[in-house]
Amino acid sequence: MDRPALQLHIGVHKTATTHLQKSLRNNQSLLKTVGTRFLPPGQYRKTLAPLHAALRDGGPEAELRDQAATLVHGAAQGCPRLVLSDENIVGNLPRVARGAHLYPWSPGRVARTCALFEGHELTLFLAIRNVARFLPSAYSESLLHGPYQGFARFVSNTDPADLRWSTMIERLLEELGGLPLVVWRYEDYAAHRDDIARAVIGAPLPEGFEFLDRRTRPGLTADAHVLLDRWAEDGRDLRDERLIAHAAQMCPPGPDHAPFRPLPEEVVEECGRNYAADWDRIAALPGVTCLGHSTAGGWSL
């Protein structure tokens, strides 16, 4: 049985993952012309994610790998490359930070995923984002998937200024033993999505490839959060996700409703300085390719 090379996009949340995933899904037939297939995250979670869970729980490794190989072979449809993309591989919301660690359980989770695909050529892909913007966005998203909590509680186990993506990546590299990792910044996605998509599919973009023409999952505005806080104080049951969706509809992003910015400005500025230095640190790590890193500040592959 042929074993396609796997392009494994592991996250993180709120870095335009949904936009990239939907763009790839909408161009499936074109991707096949350049030798790449894409398994949408919904199918991934139904077929391959249960095998990861079984491996975590002590299931028979050889049998689970054989099942994964069969599923991957079918999904590739004869193409030499298959893109797998699921931001939950690296971790689940709302547990994105604890102490000085982003996605503290990511090394073990990603290692189990890679173990399931033993025998395939693997390349990992990861997008990162300025922590000062990532945490509020991840918090808003978490409200759509679990019980309501305030932002202060969401970040109660960490200090945003202490968080470094390089720390997480170093732990991943130590666990994964030399697998190549490609990293880019969310802030570069809009301007350089062609280059990012080419890297992820492992081939030139096919003629006629079109990106989704709208934002996806833009998150909750500041006014939406004020509304949710008020409802929580009134005793409304915010475990009902329909209320979260209702707040989002009442206070949509736009000129009338400002973005959610809960961190003090001095913390935002410190996080920005840390992020710039961290990007340089990540670029210097062996085995890591940083799309867009340049000491001159320009774009480079």
Confidence of residue 239 (pLDDT cuts 50, 70, 90): confident
Q: What is the pLDDT of residues 109-158, one digit of tens each?
A: 999 999 999 999 999 999 999 999 999 999 999 987 777 888 999 999 99
| Mean of all residue pLDDT scores within the chain | 93
Output the pTM of the full model.
0.94
pLDDT of residue 298: 47
Contact predicate 292/185, CB 8 Å: yes
Q: Which domains does the chain have, with CATH numbers?
A: 5-218+267-290 (3.40.50), 220-259 (no CATH)
Contact predicate 90/11, CB 8 Å: yes
- Upstream peptide bond of 12 is cis (omega within 30 degrees of 0): yes
